[in-house]
Amino acid sequence: MRKRIVAGNWKMNLNNSDAQALFESLNSNKIVSSAEVVIAPPSLYLSEFASKKGQQICLAAQNCSDNDNGAYTGEVSASMLYSIGVKYCLVGHSERRQYQNESDVLLKQKVNVLLKNKVVPIFCCGESLDKRKSGDFFQVIQAQIENSLFHLTDSEIKEVVIAYEPIWAIGTGLTASSDQAQEIHAFIRALLVEKYSLQTAEEISILYGGSCKASNAKELFMNRDVDGGLIGGAALDLDSFLAIIESF
């Protein structure tokens, strides 16, 4: 049975005191959910959170270098993340694809370096509003997944989590409808069946992200192929995030 995951991507939000307060509240709250709870704070806070966190929270980095280690000023390596107890790392978030021009080839390298260092990539894919409107969105998602993931072996792809995040729904208040999310998640799983096998595809968690909040989480998570959420804005508010987690 594949894992359910609710992950909060804090993006570049919360200064130290607010970040600590939100982390402490989450860490001390008794969470009742069948989903694994993950937070992806700015990397600055990861080490301290790793040393303080209890069993019920896992940590994710928002990014890592595509290189192993060495003379890459300003970068953080996958092996460093692993060494402090970070379990996951986001790869290919649309904001990084857009503002840092991250290409499919670069993301493929990041996936490789993460897997080599035992950090689970949360690989993000999703189409722009233009592609949604033109109807080309299946091809966009297929290319993103094929170009950055389909070189992996069967046992490697099972270590990857995929997050579908339509760009037009990120931070806009527009959410993919429950049916739209299920349609793409089923499409992604079908790609995995075709490339690998039904058994492999059934083991891979596919999360939805894009204006997911307490009021729509249940309906989205109810779908057969939606295994959880990657939450932005609503993860910055304790009550909202807890309500989303407890939708499972």
Active site residues: 93, 165
CA distances from 78 to 102, 113, 219 (A): 17, 7, 35
233 lies in the binding site for ligand 13P (CB under 6 A): yes
- Burial category of 16 from C-beta neighbours within 10 Å (exposed 0-12, middle 13-18, buried 19 and up): exposed
Name the β-bridge partners of 59: 39
Chain center to CA of 89: 8
Which position among 39, 230, 244, 245 is part of the footprint of ligand 13P (CB under 6 A)?
Answer: 230
63 binds ligand 13P (CB under 6 A): no
Contacting ligand 13P (CB under 6 A), which of 26, 96, 232, 248? 232
Strand 161-164 to strand 206-209: parallel, antiparallel, or no bridges (unpaired)? parallel
d(CA 190, CA 197): 9
104 exposed, middle or buried (CB, 10 Å; 0-12, 13-18, 19+)?
A: middle
Q: Which is nearer to ligand 13P, 96 or 108 (CB)?
A: 96
Site for ligand 13P in 84-103 (CB under 6 A): 93
- Count of C-beta atoms within a 10 Å radius of residue 105: 10
The footprint of ligand 13P on this chain (CB under 6 A) covers a number of residues equal to 14
41 binds ligand 13P (CB under 6 A): no
Q: Which two tokens stand for residue 34?
A: 């069948």
Q: How far is the CB of 194 from ligand 13P (least distance, A)?
A: 27
Region near ligand 13P per CB under 6 A, out of 77-85, 151-159, 208-216, 218-226:
208-216
Distance in angstroms (rounded) separating the CA atoms of residues 49 and 74: 21
* Closest-approach residue to ligand 13P (CB): 232
For 195, residues 6+ apart whose C-beta sits below 8 A from its C-beta are: 150
Give least dist CB 95 to ligand 13P, A: 7
Give the binding range for ligand 13P (CB under 6 A) out of 26-34, 102-110, 184-192, 207-215.
207-215
Does 9 bind ligand 13P (CB under 6 A)? Our answer is yes
Are 223 and 177 a contacting pair, CB within 8 Å?
no
Stretch that binds ligand 13P, among 26-34, 99-107, 216-224, 231-239 (CB under 6 A): 231-239
Q: Does 77 bind ligand 13P (CB under 6 A)?
A: no
Residue 212 is a binding residue for ligand 13P (CB under 6 A): yes
Give the contact letters, 136-175, x = binds to ligand 13P (CB under 6 A), - = no: -----------------------------x----xx----
Residue 106, classed as helix, strand or coil, is: helix
Least separation in angstroms between residue 199's CB and ligand 13P is: 29
Q: Say which residues have a Cβ less than 8 Å from residue 203's Cβ, sequence separation at least 6.
A: 2, 158
Where along the sequence are the contacts to ligand 13P (CB under 6 A)?
9, 93, 165, 170-171, 209-212, 230-234
